[in-house]
Amino acid sequence: MVNGSIKSRSPFHTPCVATLHNSEVSIRTVVLRKAIPLTKELRFHTDIRSNKWKELQESNTIGVLFYDPSTRVQIRVKGKAILHFNDEMTSEAWQKTTLSSRRCYLSLASPSSFSAIPTSGLSDEIEHEKFTLVQSEVGAQNFGIVSIQVDTIEWLWLNHAGHRRAFFDYVNNSYSWMIP
């Protein structure tokens, strides 16, 4: 997973994240920004106006699914989300965020808002990337980080000679093989 946070071509760079809202599961793809093995933490950036942010405010239960088709390895992560906004972590990450990535936080309306026309939600100036780093600073007000404290990991290796599956429980500090 560490490679997924630093190598954009890694299949673990864009996992699927699942959240809960009114007993319904919502799933979407995110960009893994940081994986810290020592603290068992994963991080991704998001717009605080997004549905996922609101869902995580209601319930901090979160699931993450990674899959590498070349190795046929699936990793399922379950944990608790910690939301960061307007703090040292988000400030440091925002300063490192590229101009093209900052563009994502400059939409006039909230993500998932409905529109009568196909649109990115950006002004024409921003749409055509005619904005400066200084002008992009307004996007910081919409920038948040979801930090996932990993509780469990299920590892599955799909192989024609026999699948293998393991379970790692970081809450109870245990691990075990599983039937695939």
How does pLDDT run across 41-75, given as a tens digit for each residue?
999 999 999 999 999 999 999 999 999 999 999 99
Q: Indicate if the pLDDT at residue 129 is higher than 90.
A: no
Cα dihedral sign, 91-80-104-85: negative
In a domain, 73, yes or no: yes
Measure CA 80 to chain center.
Answer: 13
Q: pLDDT (tens digit, 9 = 90+) per residue, 132-169?
A: 888 889 999 999 999 999 999 999 999 999 999 999 99
- Please tell me whether the overall predicted TM-score, pTM, comes out greater than 0.85 for this model: yes
Q: Cα dihedral sign for 8, 124, 112, 102?
A: positive
Q: Do the domain assignments include residue 20?
A: yes
Domain tally, the chain: 1
Q: Going by C-beta distance under 8 Å and a sequence separation of 6 or more, which residues neighbour residue 139? A: 102, 103, 104, 105, 106
**Assigned domain for 131 exists:** no
Residue 71 lies in a domain: yes
pLDDT band at residue 128 using 50, 70 and 90 as cut-offs:
low
SS3 sequence of 99-145: HHHHHHHCCCCCCCCCCCCCCCCCCHHHHCCCCCHHHHHHHHHHEEE
**Confidence at residue 91, expressed as pLDDT on a 0 to 100 scale:** 97
Cβ atoms of 29 and 44 closer than 8 Å: no
Report the CATH number at residue 25.
2.30.110.10
Report whether 179 contacts 166 (CB < 8 A): no
pLDDT score for 72:
97
